[in-house]
Amino acid sequence: LWAQKSAIETITTTFLEYAAPSGDPTTLSLDELKKLVQEVDFVILQSKDPKEMKKIFEELDEDSNKEVNFLEYTSIIMRLFFVYMFKNMIELQQQRRQ
């Protein structure tokens, strides 16, 4: 993953970069999200499976308007980030015990 400060920058700039091409430049469509996940090495979004991506998109799109706005995007990214950190902590603890 990235260092903490650049993580926030990366999350913001990638979102804007990938949201820009079609439709509303401040929201991500399913295709834009797919592109983002394919091109950006998102450690926390491990699956690139199209079916899984649709599920992730639907989870992201809390108000179901088929667009993911920045708030919807950050809420799941933060959640995934914490889950990722949590898994890492558990692994570290297990390694220490061995």
Residue with tokens 């990366």: 10
**Closer to Ca ion at the Cβ: 16 or 85?**
16
Task: Closer to Ca ion by CB, 28 or 45: give it.
Answer: 28
The least CB distance from residue 28 to Ca ion, in Å, is 9
Q: Is 14 exposed, middle or buried (0-12, 13-18, 19+ CB in 10 A)?
A: middle
Nearer Cβ to Ca ion, position 39 or 63? 63
Q: How far is the CB of 6 from Ca ion (least distance, A)?
A: 27
Binding site for Ca ion (CB under 5 A): 61, 63, 65, 67
Work out how close the CB of 24 gets to Ca ion at its nearest, in angstroms, rounded to a whole number.
Answer: 10
Q: Which residues contact 20 (CB under 8 A, 6 or more apart)?
A: none
- Cβ proximity to Ca ion, 11 vs 57, nearer residue: 57
Q: Where are the beta strands (DSSP E) in the chain?
A: 27-28, 68-69
* Environment class of 23 (CB within 10 Å of its CB; exposed 0-12, middle 13-18, buried 19+): middle
CB of 3 to Ca ion, least distance (A): 30
